Amino acid sequence: DQQVKQNSPSLSVQEGRISILNCDYTNSMFDYFLWYKKYPAEGPTFLISISSIKDKNEDGRFTVFLNKSAKHLSLHIVPSQPGDSAVYFCAASVNTGFQKLVFGTGTRLLVSP
């Protein structure tokens, strides 16, 4: 039972354009959402997060939007750069104190010059 879903395995975007990565979840108990970026042969690195009390969080070129009613979140990267090419994982947690993260299957983003 996949509680966090990333239905697009890959996305190709031209440099300078917007990249939009999507994520859906089924567990209404999730109250914290995160995006991680992963390069090959490296561990994931934290990118941006959002609490369920907000609907938007912005950090430089990265913005995460949360639509609780639709159980959907998205990551916008503007403008996209070739160095953004990586696998992006969406993750969610229930704030039980253990910060146990449930991950999606990932979306591979390719930004071409």
Partner 1 sequence: DVKVTQSSRYLVKRTGEKVFLECVQDMDHENMFWYRQDPGLGLRLIYFSYDVKMKEKGDIPEGYSVSREKKERFSLILESASTNQTSMYLCASSLSVEGAFFGQGTRLTVV
Chain-centre distance for alpha carbon 77: 10
Nearer to partner 1, 11 or 102 (CB): 102
The contact mask relative to partner 1 for 67-96 (x = CB under 8 A, - = no) is ----------------------x-x-x-x-
Q: Is 32 helix (H, G, I), strand (E, B) or coil?
A: strand
Stretch near partner 1 under the rule CB under 8 A, chosen from 22-30, 44-52, 54-62, 78-86: 44-52
Q: Out of 10, 28, 81, 99, which residue is the one contacting partner 1 (CB under 8 A)?
A: 99
H helix or E strand, kind and range, residue 108: strand 107-112
- Token pair, residue 62, equals 């990265």
Nearest residue to 91 via CA among 44, 53, 35: 35
Q: Give dist(CA 58, CA 48) in Å, integer.
A: 8
Which residues lie near partner 1 (CB under 8 A)?
4, 6, 9, 32, 34, 36, 41-46, 49, 89, 91, 93, 95, 97-106
